[in-house]
Amino acid sequence: MRLLICKPVNALVIALVAAVILCCPLKAAAQETRGTIRGTVTDQNGAAVPGAVVTVTDLARGTSITLTTNGEGFYQATYLLPGTYRITVESSGFKKYMQSNVVLQIGQTIEQDVTLEVGGTQEVVNVTTDNPPLETAKSDLSQTVDRKRISELPLVHGDPYTLISLSPGVSFTGSARLDRPFEPTHIVGYAIDGTRGNRSDLTIDGAPSTATANANEVIASYVPPTDIIQEFKVQTATFDAQFGNTEGGVTSISIKSGTNQLHGSIYYWTEPGGLAANDFFGNSRGQARPYTYSNRFGGNVNGPVYLPWLYNGRDRTFFLFGYEGIRDSRPRFDAGANTFVPTEALRNGDFSAYASNITIYNPYTRRPNPNAPGQYIADPFPGNIIPQNLISPVAKAILKYYSLPKQPGLLGNIFDSTLTEKTDPYDNFTFRVDQVVNSKNRLFVRGSWYNRDSHYNDYMGTPATGVNFKFISRQGVIDDVHAFNATTVLNVRYGYNRFIRWQDQEEDARGFDLTLLGFPAYYNNLVPADVRRFPRFDFPANTILGTGFSNEFRPNDIHSFSAILNKTITTHSVKFGGELRIYREDSRFTSNDQTGQFIFDNTYTRQNSASGTDWNGLQAFAAFLLGLPTTMQIVRRADYSEYSKTWGFFVQDDWRVNSRLTLNLGLRYEVETPLVERNNKSVSGFDFNYVQPVEAIARARLAANPVQGIDPNNFNVRGGLLFAGKDTGSGLYETPKDTFLPRLGFAYQLNDKTVLRGGFGLFAGFLGQRRGDVIQPGYTRTTVMPLTVNANGAPIPYSMSAPFANITILEPVGNALGRQTGLGTSISFFNQHPKVSKQARWQIGIQRELPGGFVAEAVYVGNYGYDIEISRNINALPNQYLNTDNFRSAAMNSTNSFLTAQVPNPFAGLPEFQGTSLFNATIARSQLLRPYPQFGDITTTNNDGKSWYNAGQFSLQKRFSQGYTVQLSYTFSKWLQATEYLNAGDPKPTKMISDQDAPHRLSVSWIYSPPFGKGRRFLSEPNWLLNALVGGWQLQGVYTYQSGFPVNFSNDAFYNGGKISIDHPTVSRWFNTDAFTSVLNASSNAATPVSHLRTLPFRFSDVRVDPINNVDLSLLKDIFFREEMRLQLRFEAINAFNEPLFPGPVVNPTSPTFGQISASNQNNYARRVQLGIKFLF
């Protein structure tokens, strides 16, 4: 990355730039990481002292800001870097006041009042007391993690975002197995005070540090190494109108700035695989622990810019440079208990070893079932063995690319502890330069970037498996602060953020020759060579065949421009300004479904349509051997280039009413533009009134060949897609323009040790590019080999030996088909009149300074979310057709037979439906009963969602003194939401417990240095050897407990009543399965609701997954060479007590493992040991 640093512009140019920005309705301003020191200067009688000269000096850099108090004696120094300051106050007729060691933390406002004593200015009053630990200037709830905690608490792989978990009101929603700094989605997966995980803002040095993940989610686009971070702050609730681009939470990081002294570090960490523990499931299976290793190394150097004989930058120019690298290796494939590759016998069609578990039926013997009219029946293969002449030569060729089992038996036979070629080389760089231009102007510029080049899932070592996955991050920021006078300060900033996802199959799978798999030569010609890959084969989860990767090249950019003008008026600290963010994403897909996707299940190899569930995917594998996929499809996929903008305007007044009361008053106005595809290659909306030309034909056919339940005269074929730039403007929906967000907060100091704080504010959610990607039917088209059935409803097989033969591949046509685009398929479109999701947040709490340097805070927090955007299928079968019985009754079977019966298809053979299931001669009656029968599901969004969050939060902390520091936070909460429809045809979403509700969360961090050694309480004057033995030791740790999230009962089931939760869940019985009709107490048929109106909630508050219960411990030893130079030795145990975090239980009532935890791996890693050595100077 190349950064151009121009000469500093003068104040007039800065003011003009700011004026241009502020004249537009800009987005709420960037999240500020620098702090403020302010206060009132009075005499001993309490009268204000105007005209006093206040000097605020950064002790580490030697830089100063000089101010003059106004008529109320008020002063304010803004945009101060975190650090230690000295405050000097001088006024004629008074003694000179000097207070040192004023510690300013990230984003903090310190109210430092000064009382001057009568006397000569040559006399000095030195104040040495620490600044008060209470927050008297702001109503915000926040948690600051200081430099000592960042550098010395045990952090897995040095990931700083782990420290978010120390804050009250925060719960972890990500995956504990994706914990490295280059796994950006999960390391910032935290829900904050009723805001869902991955929905809060992340900033570094005030500039955005996010990228788009899934719809309505953000990720950490850049993760700085811990050694270059000065401080870290999590604001769980802020009532400052400056803060935007978030539904409430803000995580801010301040990068170190150089000082007048040269400082730095060099470190090396290793995670020896031989010291790691085995996990719960590995131990239970008797499997050896896979060998792994991880090495992390790097360092930083910072100080004044000094060029001998040319330039001395002390007090003016400072630099920082940091680097971190990671080299690690994990198992190629670490699945175990429920995963397998086919044995030699299975490859030859011999299923006899599993005859007691599953029977393989011959699809070529199908015939009408005399005992079940309208259904079919088939005969089993003799001996459960498929004859060799029926095994597909294509299947045989494909199997050559998959290894044989590494272990005996079936389940878990792929496991091999020696396969350790999953590598993740990672390199991370940062530089920063700070310049004091003059007494009125300060500037800094920073550039950061990292590269990750991963190779994983190559568990076969052939083109059939393996992914090359890259993350590329680039970030830059330039920031200028200009003081026009003592009361007026302007800050302007530009930030650039780029995050690239690049994923493809390994090189030997690119441009793959399909004839090597026995496919005919014409198949090669169907797929352009630049996107041709080893095809995709999809099986039930147990079977390790097929790739299924989503290959893509996807750069994501954010440009941010901000300007904030700060003005001190009497005791009002007023600021106004804003920020413009431009979000852009480009995408080019080369997914292997563009080569072809073959999906296998037991449709052809079961006895009949009423047969039960497949057993470990063996019937599906039998279908593969026979060369009979249930579905074959090929995709022509479009590229896209999309963008949106956010802007707004804010004004904030922090009014110090008197020495005890401060009010925070603000208003923000936001506008976020709609998503735009640069070339208009996207659907926008839906024309509900459009009469499809095929309507007349369909009505005539229904009149000629009636279908029970369908009135030909009222059979409407209405509605069609609208396209950007053709039917609507380039914006894919309308822009909401009514987003006014008031903020109100207060801090009232009851006495010198107690502060009452509270606030209320509105916060806005996402639209634009962060909300989701463009929709491209017509530009992306999928050709499906339609599944056909005979008169008895039995599927008519087609072979993969001749894929996509005798059909026309649907090539992209863009918007040429207009409202007839997507006929016969499922479609989606944008809500043309969206609202901005909002959260109303409020809090009231009390903060109290306790003896011993402790500060405690207790707070009530409330959050009401409304206008929440939720997904809706507007083409669901209406509820009136569904059965309401709570058991598999004869009436339910009758309803199901009526709805699923194959009837004459009024769309059969029409060219508009070619390549879809609606092209077939028959169709399920339920399709014709849909509101828009010419389509499958039609997905859009509405703003009917709501949420309710209430919490009591408690925190206790003590700064480091007397050899120890501690930080504790506890949250007790309840989170309800109405964001899901139990049935697609329901009129409104159902209120239930949130899927991210964690009623209890406790986190404790501590650092303890035993009182032995030089300068300590005991053995304070030892000789060198004794001090080396007993001095410099330190023990630190982090404990986290978090209630498990509610189990999600995604499968409908018959609830029989009674308590579902049990007092002591086990892996073999996680909840009371007797409360349901299941295969454990009935037949599979009786356990399966069909054509059923669901009443069972998705979640119950008392049935939850396993809680997080984790302890990380660290022991370090400092060996001092002199005061500023030491060697540090570290021993860290992550998950020190090897506590497993179990995945959720099976919730499918037709599964024999219903209610059990049957996954192959636990959701966290077993205990790992990190050994480190660091040299600091």
Q: pLDDT of 613-655, one tens digit each? A: 788 889 999 999 999 998 889 999 899 999 999 998 999 999 9
Q: What totals of helices (H) and strands (E) does the chain contain, helices first?
A: 11, 60
Average pLDDT over every residue of 580-594: 86
Q: Is 637:589 a contact under the CB 8 Å cutoff?
A: yes
Q: What is the full DSSP assignment across 270-289?
A: EEEGGGSPP-HHHHHHTPPP
> Quick one: pLDDT at residue 338?
58
Q: pLDDT category, 1085, cuts 50, 70, 90? A: confident
Strand partners, 128: none
> Quick one: pLDDT at residue 320?
98
Cα distance between residue 991 and residue 979, in whole Å: 8
Compute how many other C-beta atoms are within 10 angstroms of the C-beta atom of residue 130: 11
Q: Is 668:238 a contact under the CB 8 Å cutoff?
A: no
Cα distance between residue 1165 and residue 1177, in whole Å: 34
Q: pLDDT category, 18, cuts 50, 70, 90? A: very low
Contacts of 1035 (CB under 8 A, 6+ apart): 1007, 1008, 1010, 1113, 1114, 1115
> Quick one: pLDDT at residue 340?
77
Average pLDDT over every residue of 110-138: 87
What burial class does residue 962 get, using C-beta atoms within 10 Å of its C-beta: 0-12 exposed, 13-18 middle, 19+ buried?
Answer: exposed
- Identify the sign of the CA torsion 82, 85, 88, 89: positive
Residue 49 in tokens:
């002292």
CA nearest neighbour of 346 among 624, 71, 127: 624
Residue 422 in tokens:
């999953």
Cα distance between residue 467 and residue 974, in whole Å: 41
Average pLDDT over every residue of 253-262: 95
Residue 720: C-alpha distances to residues 51, 824, 905 (Å) = 72, 12, 20
Q: Write a three-state SS string for 687-743.
A: EEEEECCHHHHHHHHHHHCCCCCCCHHHCCCEEEEEEECCCECCECCCCCCCEEEEE
- 214: pLDDT strictly greater than 70: no
Cα distance between residue 832 and residue 820, in whole Å: 19
134: helix, strand or coil: coil
Q: pLDDT category, 8, cuts 50, 70, 90? A: very low
Contacts of 974 (CB under 8 A, 6+ apart): 949, 950, 951, 997, 999
Looking at residue 208, its amino acid is: P
Is this prediction's pTM over 0.95?
A: no
Domains of the chain in sequence order: 31-127 (2.60.40.1120)
> Quick one: pLDDT at residue 793?
54
Task: Count the residues in the chain.
Answer: 1177
Cα distance between residue 883 and residue 302, in whole Å: 71
- 13: pLDDT strictly greater than 50: no
933-973 residue pLDDT tens: 999 999 999 999 999 999 999 999 999 988 999 999 999 99
* β 376-380/361-368 pair status: antiparallel
- 2: pLDDT strictly greater than 80: no
For residue 433, the surrounding DSSP H or E stretch is strand 426-438
Residue 218 in tokens:
């953000």
Q: pLDDT category, 1021, cuts 50, 70, 90? A: confident
Contacts of 551 (CB under 8 A, 6+ apart): 503, 504, 505, 533, 589, 590, 591, 592
> Quick one: pLDDT at residue 657?
96
Cα distance between residue 230 and residue 251, in whole Å: 14
Secondary structure letter of residue 1165 according to DSSP: P
Cα distance between residue 318 and residue 266, in whole Å: 20
Secondary structure letter of residue 882 according to DSSP: S
For residue 16, the surrounding DSSP H or E stretch is helix 11-22
- 325: pLDDT strictly greater than 70: yes
- 30: pLDDT strictly greater than 60: no
Q: Is 77:56 a contact under the CB 8 Å cutoff?
A: yes
Residue 713: C-alpha distances to residues 697, 699, 904, 1022 (Å) = 12, 7, 17, 101
Q: DSSP strand E in 467-624: where?
A: 467-485, 488-505, 536-538, 552-569, 572-589, 597-599
Top pLDDT among 129 and 384 is at 384
Instruction: Please tell me the number of Cα atoms within 13 Å of 1153 on its side-chain side.
Output: 14
Q: DSSP strand E in 43-158: where?
A: 53-58, 63-68, 74-80, 83-90, 96-104, 109-111, 114-115, 124-127, 141-145
Q: Of 8-17, 144-153, 1159-1168, which one has max mean pLDDT? A: 144-153
| 274-278 LR contacts (CB < 8 Å, sep 24+) | 275/1168, 275/1169, 276/1165, 276/1166, 276/1167, 276/1168, 276/1169, 277/1138, 277/1166, 277/1167, 277/1168, 278/1166
**Average pLDDT for the chain:** 90
CA nearest neighbour of 1052 among 804, 937, 882: 882
Top pLDDT among 548 and 68 is at 68
The fraction of the chain above a pLDDT of 70, given in percent, is 93
295-319 residue pLDDT tens: 999 999 999 999 999 999 999 999 9
Q: pLDDT category, 787, cuts 50, 70, 90? A: low
Cα distance between residue 432 and residue 452, in whole Å: 22
Cα distance between residue 1032 and residue 1115, in whole Å: 11
CA nearest neighbour of 206 among 289, 107, 293, 281: 107
Q: Is 186:175 a contact under the CB 8 Å cutoff?
A: yes
Looking at residue 673, its amino acid is: T
Greatest CA separation for the chain: 114
CA nearest neighbour of 742 among 862, 650, 867: 650
What burial class does residue 1044 get, using C-beta atoms within 10 Å of its C-beta: 0-12 exposed, 13-18 middle, 19+ buried?
Answer: buried
> Quick one: pLDDT at residue 290?
75
> Quick one: pLDDT at residue 421?
57
Compute how many other C-beta atoms are within 10 angstroms of the C-beta atom of residue 764: 26
- 204: pLDDT strictly greater than 60: yes
> Quick one: pLDDT at residue 215?
60
Q: Of the ranges 500-509, 790-799, 899-908, 992-1001, which one carries the lowest mean pLDDT score?
A: 790-799
- 108: pLDDT strictly greater than 70: yes
> Quick one: pLDDT at residue 424?
83
Cα distance between residue 550 and residue 211, in whole Å: 19
Query: Which residue bears the tokens 């323009």?
Result: 737
Secondary structure letter of residue 777 according to DSSP: B
Compute how many other C-beta atoms are within 10 angstroms of the C-beta atom of residue 288: 12
The fraction of the chain above a pLDDT of 90, given in percent, is 70
Q: Is 208:558 a contact under the CB 8 Å cutoff?
A: yes
Cα distance between residue 626 and residue 386, in whole Å: 8
> Quick one: pLDDT at residue 964?
95
